[in-house]
Amino acid sequence: MSNKAARNLFIYGSLFFFVIFVMLTIDTMGKLDKRAPEITEEVNAGKMVWHKYDCIGCHTILGNGSYFAPDMTKVAEKKPKDYLKQFLMDPKSVNTKASMPKLGISSKEADDLIAFLDWISRVDTNGWPPKPILATAAGVAVKELTAGQRVYQSQNCANCHMVSGIGGTTGPDLTHVGSKRDRAWLFGHFKDPKAYVPNSAMPGYGHISEQELNDLTDYMVALK
Amino acid sequence: MTIKYESQKIAQNFYTFAVLLFLVQVVVSIIAALQFMWPDFFILNFNIIRSLHINAMVVWLLAGMMGATYYVVSEESDTELWSVPMANFQFWATVVTVALVVLGYIWMGINPQANSTNLFGTGVLNEGREYIEAPRWADILIVVSVLLFLLNNFMTVLKTKKWTGIQGTLLGGLTVLALMYLPGMFYTKSMVKDQFWWWWVVHLWVEGAWEIIAGALLAFMLMKVVGAKREVVEKWMYVEVGLVMFTGILGTGHHYYWIGTPEYWLWVGGIFSSLEPIPLLIMAWDAFRTTREKRVVTNRAGLYYTVSHAIFNFVGAGLWGVIHTLPQVNKWTHGTQITTAHGHLAFYGAYVLLVLAMIYITLPAIRGVKAFNTSRAFQSFWWMTISMVFIVLTITGAGMVQTYMERLMGLDYVAVKTNYNLWFWILRAIFGVGFLYGVWIFAVDYFKLGKEPAPAVAPAPEKA
């Protein structure tokens, strides 16, 4: 192959692949809006807040960004909205161990940001992030769950709380909660968390049945 | 070794700027590493430190490439640059713009609300998009600077019309680089489209335009350090950069797996990005073969850095990339420390060593020295390379633990980061200090090269 032929192969070959890339890009652009919910004014305002505070400087979203803090793609699906709002405005008031600084996010900005995070959690991402296979498998394998453990699962308590190393770190660790709190405190706290912990960002669970709350309390008391 | 044309000296301005920013990049990296253990460690939050770390790197690598290009184009065209005053102006305009952007980041770090004001569609201090954090007004100034730079070089080539393959490819790569900055300069309401166009900039820079520039400079350096034949190195250069483009353009698809884009990208990205290491392997083989064939080594330090660049380009950008590029694997590793590990070794191998190699090959000529003491060049090489290899291994370890515990077992992100990966962060910071020491030796060498007494004779033993 002469040098000229090699050069032409480089130039025209690159152009060929670039044209294919542009065609795929045009096709993709036509399909994106159908794969995501509608973008409201609030969602767009939330995206601007995301940029304003350079959130991507610590977090990832859709898996892209800095790897210093948790991914935000599904956060709106996993955490209660009230919790998110309180956390965004003053992280350490909700979770003293939080690494996130208080940035001065206003109430309106927090609402917009949550609308944006809610939007992104409903984008069709080809199944990413995948459900953890071991945790999923464990949930199926453990047949003999107590009634309280079933409530703990169905209400997704593990999204925020940890028991024996499994679960979230945004709420307090519950591994030994039974030795710290009594039955009356736990039961009352489920119904109205703020009455017991003034700064609490946990939503109340008064809407689930008394029986379920009793079962859940049984489970908590047993954690010693 | 002397330069043929006085205007080649302009390269030195860019090199000095690059070396200073390299030091800044690595000093802030130590702060960032400590913040992984103590998030409140410094007055500036992690996001600002990280922006400084990565932006400093992008700018110093670009500055190094620009300096090298002025040098190469003047030499290849056999003439003085079209306009030295314009090159000087372009240099200082770039320095001032970069300084303003950095001050803006620091101000925003101290007072996050300072970024509230909007100017030309982005925050006045920070665009809030990864890697391209520079606000829109700075984007525009950067584009002007790059256009002046390209104009100057193209006009130089037109003076003598000696279109050598090396400078044609080099300027072609730089033109693609300038064009591919544009898709990052408009706002979209959809975060999916935002990230889609953002990858045009990021991927088509580092796995497209920059690799073309690297291929052209590698060919130039092989001619310089061992006197390889132009005919041969240019042919291989075309093969290499050609394959980079054939695999790399559609390889962009490996960023379009999980961001809300259609499923066919899993196939396009998976197939083409798996082939991306091939041209990098050919480059490494090319560097080995060429340097083994020729026995006349005119610049040992330059040769060392050139061959290491080719090897680590393949290992860092190629191997460390391909391990997690298939969708089946990437589904679990996407967004973990595995990506960080790949990023570190890829940039060190593909671009840091490239620019340092160019400096060691062209600086002696610019300073008019025939031979120079290479001991610091080798010392800094080993300090930096060994430290970087261990930094990458610690982050790879952290990434494997994270992938297993968080993604497969379902443990919480924060729990994995603060408990199970703590030792990896500690080790990374220690090796980071080793890297900083290597950079320091290099910086000292850069400023002293050619300014000490000639090393031709071994220093006389001190009298007792």
A196-221 per-position pLDDT tens digit: 998 888 999 989 999 999 999 989 98
Cross-chain residue pair B235–A6, CB shorter than 8 Å: yes
Return the exposure string of B319-328: e unless at least 16 CB atoms fall within 10 Å of the residue's CB, then b: ebbbebbbbe
Of A44, A120, A128, the CB nearest to B189: A44
Rounded to an integer, what distance in angstroms lies between the CA atom of residue B215 and that of residue B208? 11
Q: Tell me: the pLDDT tens digits for B255-267?
A: 999 999 999 999 9
Cross-chain residue pair B249–A39, CB shorter than 8 Å: no
Cross-chain residue pair B260–A123, CB shorter than 8 Å: yes
Strand partners, B393: none
Q: How far apart are the first and last CA of chain B?
A: 37
Say what the pLDDT of residue B464 is. 44
Say what the pLDDT of residue B64 is. 97
Cross-chain residue pair A62–B192, CB shorter than 8 Å: yes
Of A51, A123, A133, the CB nearest to B408: A133
Say what the pLDDT of residue B186 is. 94
Mutate to test the interface with A, among B44, B47, B419 (most CBs of A within 10 A): B47
**Any CB–CB contact under 8 A between B233 and chain A?**
no
Rounded to an integer, what distance in angstroms lies between the CA atom of residue B261 and that of residue B193? 9
Distance of residue B413 Cα from the nearest chain A Cα, in angstroms: 6
Q: Tell me: the pLDDT tens digits for A156-173?
A: 898 889 888 888 888 899
Domains of chain B are: 237-452 (1.20.210.10)
Helix, strand, or coil (residue A63): coil
CB B354 within 8 A of CB B217: yes
CB B69 within 8 A of CB B170: yes
Identify which of A42, A85, A84 has the alpha carbon closest to the alpha carbon of residue B189.
A42
Residues of A in contact with B339 (CB under 8 A): 67
Of B51, B191, B234, the CB nearest to A120: B191
Cross-chain residue pair A134–B409, CB shorter than 8 Å: yes
Distance of residue A221 Cα from the nearest chain B Cα, in angstroms: 24
Rounded to an integer, what distance in angstroms lies between the CA atom of residue B58 and that of residue B132? 10
Rounded to an integer, what distance in angstroms lies between the CA atom of residue B87 and that of residue B84? 5
**Domain at A133-222: CATH code:** 2.60.40.420
Which residue has 């620009």 as its token pair? B66
Helix, strand, or coil (residue A119): helix
Looking at chain A, which runs of residues are DSSP E strands? Answer: 60-61, 64-65, 162-163, 166-167
Task: Report residues of chain B scoring pLDDT below 50.
Answer: 457-458, 463-464
CB A151 within 8 A of CB A215: yes
**Any CB–CB contact under 8 A between A23 and chain B?**
no
Cross-chain residue pair B242–A9, CB shorter than 8 Å: yes
B423-to-B39, B155, B430 alpha-carbon distances in Å:
16, 55, 11
**Any CB–CB contact under 8 A between A70 and chain B?**
yes
Q: What are phi and psi of B162, to 5 degrees?
A: -95, 85
Strand partners, B249: none
Cross-chain residue pair B242–A47, CB shorter than 8 Å: no
Walking along chain A (224 residues) 10 residues at a time, the average pLDDT comes out as 92 96 97 96 97 96 96 93 94 90 96 98 95 69 71 88 86 90 92 90 90 91 87
Cross-chain residue pair A54–B133, CB shorter than 8 Å: yes
∠B337-B341-B346 over CA atoms, to 5°?
145
Distance of residue A214 Cα from the nearest chain B Cα, in angstroms: 27
DSSP state of B118: E
- Locate CATH 2.60.40.420 in chain A: 133-222
Residues of A in contact with B411 (CB under 8 A): 165-166
Share of chain A above pLDDT 70, in %: 96
Identify which of B350, B200, B367 has the alpha carbon closest to the alpha carbon of residue B284.
B350
DSSP state of B205: I
Q: What is the pTM of this model?
A: 0.90
CB atoms within 10 A of CB B9: 17
Rounded to an integer, what distance in angstroms lies between the CA atom of residue B208 and that of residue A54? 27
Residues of A in contact with B193 (CB under 8 A): 29, 32
Helix, strand, or coil (residue A64): strand
Helix (H) or strand (E) holding B122: strand B122-123
Say what the pLDDT of residue A141 is. 45
Mutate to test the interface with A, among B259, B331, B395, B420 (most CBs of A within 10 A): B259
- Locate CATH 1.10.760.10 in chain A: 41-121
Cα dihedral angle (B230, B231, B236, B239), rounded to 10 degrees?
A: 130
Rg (CA), chain B: 22
Rounded to an integer, what distance in angstroms lies between the CA atom of residue A192 and that of residue A186? 10
Identify which of B311, B241, B309, B328 has the alpha carbon closest to the alpha carbon of residue B276.
B241
Helix, strand, or coil (residue A96): coil
Say what the pLDDT of residue B221 is. 94
Residues of A in contact with B405 (CB under 8 A): none
Task: Say which residues have a Cβ less than 8 Å from residue A137's Cβ, sequence separation at least 6.
Answer: none
Rounded to an integer, what distance in angstroms lies between the CA atom of residue B228 and that of residue B324? 36
Return the exposure string of B260-298: e unless at least 16 CB atoms fall within 10 Å of the residue's CB, then b: bbbeebbebbbebbbbbbbbbbbbbebbeebbeeeeeeb
Identify which of B197, B175, B177, B178 has the alpha carbon closest to the alpha carbon of residue B127.
B197
**Any CB–CB contact under 8 A between A44 and chain B?**
yes
**Any CB–CB contact under 8 A between B262 and chain A?**
yes
Distance of residue B57 Cα from the nearest chain A Cα, in angstroms: 16
Distance of residue A191 Cα from the nearest chain B Cα, in angstroms: 26
Chain B, nearest residue to A21 by Cα: B250
Rounded to an integer, what distance in angstroms lies between the CA atom of residue B374 and that of residue B23? 20
Identify which of A118, A47, A54 has the alpha carbon closest to the alpha carbon of residue B187.
A47
Of A50, A58, A135, the CB nearest to B410: A135
Q: B303-306, long-range: CB within 8 Å, 24+ apart, which pairs?
A: B303/B225, B303/B226, B304/B377, B304/B378, B304/B381, B305/B353, B305/B356, B305/B357, B305/B360, B305/B377, B305/B381, B306/B218, B306/B221, B306/B222, B306/B225, B306/B357, B306/B361
B9-to-B4, B95, B156, B463 alpha-carbon distances in Å:
10, 18, 15, 41
**Any CB–CB contact under 8 A between A209 and chain B?**
no
Rounded to an integer, what distance in angstroms lies between the CA atom of residue B404 and that of residue B418? 15
Residues of A in contact with B46 (CB under 8 A): 57-58, 66, 68
| Chain B 383-412, residues with CB within 8 Å of chain A CB atoms | 406-412
Hey, what are B39's tokens? 């998030």
Strand partners, A60: A65, A71
Hey, what are A101's tokens? 């600084």
Say what the pLDDT of residue B79 is. 95
Cross-chain residue pair B335–A71, CB shorter than 8 Å: yes
Helix (H) or strand (E) holding B119: strand B118-119
Interface A-B, measured as beta-carbon pairs within 8 A, has a size of 213
Say what the pLDDT of residue B134 is. 95
| Chain B 421-450, residues with CB within 8 Å of chain A CB atoms | none
Cross-chain residue pair A29–B193, CB shorter than 8 Å: yes
What CATH fold (topology level) applies to the domain A41-121?
A: Cytochrome Bc1 Complex; Chain D, domain 2 (1.10.760)
What number of residues does chain B have?
Answer: 464
Of B36, B39, B331, the CB nearest to A130: B331
Amino acid at A44: N
Of B46, B108, B194, the CB nearest to A58: B46
Say what the pLDDT of residue A167 is. 86
Cross-chain residue pair A10–B245, CB shorter than 8 Å: yes
Rounded to an integer, what distance in angstroms lies between the CA atom of residue B452 and that of residue B32? 36
**Any CB–CB contact under 8 A between A7 and chain B?**
yes
**Any CB–CB contact under 8 A between B175 and chain A?**
no
Distance of residue B207 Cα from the nearest chain A Cα, in angstroms: 13
